[in-house]
Amino acid sequence: MAAARLGRPLPGSSVLFLCDLQERFRGSIVAFPQIVAVAARLLQGCRILGVPALVTEQRPDVLGPTVPELGAQDLPRLPKTAFSMLGAATPLLGDPKIRSVLLCGIEAQACVL
């Protein structure tokens, strides 16, 4: 069986979803600062390549805003009340030009469902 091959993100057909990197998780997620640092580098790379990005926030009224060190203050924020990002991201996923989605978040079994 041939190995899967990952392509490179392309500006016209890729999007980055940054999922639930919020203040309330800072003290409860192991390696949270490192996770945010990697996510920030991924976001910086996407900005250089011209790949659009968006941020989802799980119940921001309860869990707080996205952490500032991510550097995503200028990005659209989509609040959500379900674990899945699908509802929040549906408008972008319906775009036929989008062929690649980069997912970045914590608690992948829940936040990036």
Per-residue pLDDT of the chain (113 residues; tens, 9 = 90+): 455 556 677 788 888 989 999 999 999 999 999 999 999 999 999 999 999 998 999 999 999 999 999 999 999 888 888 877 777 666 667 778 888 888 888 876 676 66
DSSP per-residue letters across 18-79: EE--BGGGTTTSTTHHHHHHHHHHHHHHHHHHT--EEEEEESHHHH-PBPGGG--TTS-EEE
Which sequence positions are flagged as catalytic?
A: 20, 80, 111
pTM for this prediction: 0.83
Six-digit token pair at 77? Answer: 């924020």
- Residue 61 phi, psi (nearest 5): -65, -25
| CA–CA dist 100, 111 (Å, integer) | 19
User: Furthest-apart CA pair in the chain: how many Å?
Assistant: 47
Domain residues of the chain, as ranges?
A: 14-87+97-105
Which architecture characterizes domain 14-87+97-105 according to CATH? 3-Layer(aba) Sandwich (3.40)
